[in-house]
Amino acid sequence: MSNLNTTAGRPPAPAKIKLPRVNGRYLWPLLGLFLLLAVNLAITPEFFRIEIQDGRLYGSLIDVLNRSAPVALLAIGMTLVIATGGIDLSVGATMAIAGAVCANLIVGGVDSIFLVVAAGLAAGLMAGAVNGGLVSYMGIQPIVATLILMVAGRGIAQLINAGQIVTFQSEAFAFIGTGTLLGLPFPIVLVLIVFALVQLLMRKTALGLFVESVGCNAGASYYLGINQRAVKIVAYCIAGICAALAGMISAADIQGSDANNAGLWLELDAILAVVIGGASLMGGRFSIPLSIVGVLVIQCLGTTIIMSGLPAKFNLLIKAVVVIFVLLLQSPLFQQQMGALFARFQKRTNTEAKV
């Protein structure tokens, strides 16, 4: 009897948590972002000033969007890869390869900007295909398979650049990083385009469902007739292409390809962004818009630290504290405990008021 009672008593509890979580999935990461923006408002009111200078929007908020473009692109690809239950550590190195390929083609005298961009994208696609092939056909653990390219990729980029920083002069290519379209910096436009394309692909075709199904249970998906290998390869290829675009933005931004530093550790920022966005690292649950919110939280934080004028040695610590806070906000258990604490506090004040 008592057994029956406890099992019968259980189901409502998850249902209770589930209700706020469905709403909360969008609420909590956004709340984190708004809190950060509020802190900025307190520190520097100028943060929200946006003016038009030389025909482009100019201001800190635009900077945050512009600077987050490479990580946002990485995060879009990373979201899909993580949704299939994988992880891609090589995107930072892929950025360096794509940047190096483009820079060397320009220096080598290729005038056609389309050819340069196509070559960069091809490099990214190839990197993605290698990762996807290793993971799906060779059955290698994603973290190991992509670690290979994470290490080797930077070496390949250094080889292409012959160990130097290759600088170039190309108005057309520089546009990718510093150009303006419709008053917005071009990287932001690029992110919007990629975001719209991938989001449509995921939510308006069956591919999104396939990705989630493979992430939840690859074996079951296989028996349902889903070609799980192809789905995984597609996810890694999209991640590779996104990384190549990010690499081109960062190379175009400084008009040079720095194989040692381009995209260094950005794969970790991308993973962090996806996690802040509430995706499950086990796969199966993902939201690209929320990953973008995660990117904005990270970038906004970086800008906040610089604007606040705190000594540089605090940077990483502050970042860690804020990330923990944002992740805690999303934890159902934490929410529950905070709620209970709040309720108890309220009760006490109520009883005190009565007395």
Partner 1 sequence: MKISQFLPAAMVLVLCASHSALATTIGFSQVGSESGWRTSFSESVKAEAKKRGIELKFSDAQQKQENQIKAVRSFIAQGVDAIMIAPVVETGWKPVLREAKRARIPVVILDRNVDASGDGLFLTRIASDFVEEGRRAARWLMDETDGNCRILELQGTVGATAAIDRMKGFNEVIADFPDATIVRSQTGEFTRTKGKEVMEAMLKAENGGRDICALWSHNDEMAIGAIQAIKEAGLKPGTDMLVVSVDGVPDYFKAMADGDANATVELNPHLGAPAFDVIEAYLKGDRKVEKLITTTGDLFTQATAAEEYAKRAGK
Residues in contact with partner 1 by the rule CB under 8 A: 44, 46-47, 53-54, 58-60, 63, 67, 163-165, 167, 178, 250, 253-256, 258, 260-262, 302-303, 306-307, 309, 311-313, 315
In the complex with partner 1, the residue whose CB is nearer, 58 or 222, is 58
Closest CA to 259 of 148, 117, 120, 154: 154
In the complex with partner 1, the residue whose CB is nearer, 312 or 355, is 312
In the complex with partner 1, the residue whose CB is nearer, 231 or 244, is 244
In the complex with partner 1, the residue whose CB is nearer, 60 or 330, is 60
Contacting residues for 121 by C-beta, under 8 A, at least 6 apart: 98, 241, 244, 245
In the complex with partner 1, the residue whose CB is nearer, 34 or 48, is 48
Q: Is 246 in contact with 95 (CB distance < 8 Å)?
A: yes
Look up tokens 């005190």; give the residue: 352
Look up tokens 């690292």; give the residue: 281
In the complex with partner 1, the residue whose CB is nearer, 84 or 250, is 250
Task: Report the distance separating Cα 17 and Cα 241, nearest Å.
Answer: 38
In the complex with partner 1, the residue whose CB is nearer, 11 or 311, is 311
Q: Is 74 in contact with 267 (CB distance < 8 Å)?
A: yes
In the complex with partner 1, the residue whose CB is nearer, 165 or 327, is 165
Cα–Cα distance list, 17 to 23, 91, 287, 325, 339 (Å): 11, 36, 20, 20, 12
**Minimum distance from residue 353 beta carbon to partner 1 (Å):** 46
Q: Is 279 in contact with 286 (CB distance < 8 Å)?
A: yes
DSSP per-residue codes, 104-157: HHHHTT---HHHHHHHHHHHHHHHHHHHHHHHHTS---HHHHHHHHHHHHHHHH
Give how far the C-alpha of residue 332 lies from the chain's centroid of Cα atoms, to the nearest Å.
23
**Minimum distance from residue 258 beta carbon to partner 1 (Å):** 6
**Minimum distance from residue 67 beta carbon to partner 1 (Å):** 6
Cα angle value 88/92/93 (rounded, 5°):
100
Run of H or E residues at 51 = strand 51-53
**Minimum distance from residue 102 beta carbon to partner 1 (Å):** 15
Burial of 171 (0-12, 13-18, 19+ CB in 10 A): exposed
**Minimum distance from residue 127 beta carbon to partner 1 (Å):** 20
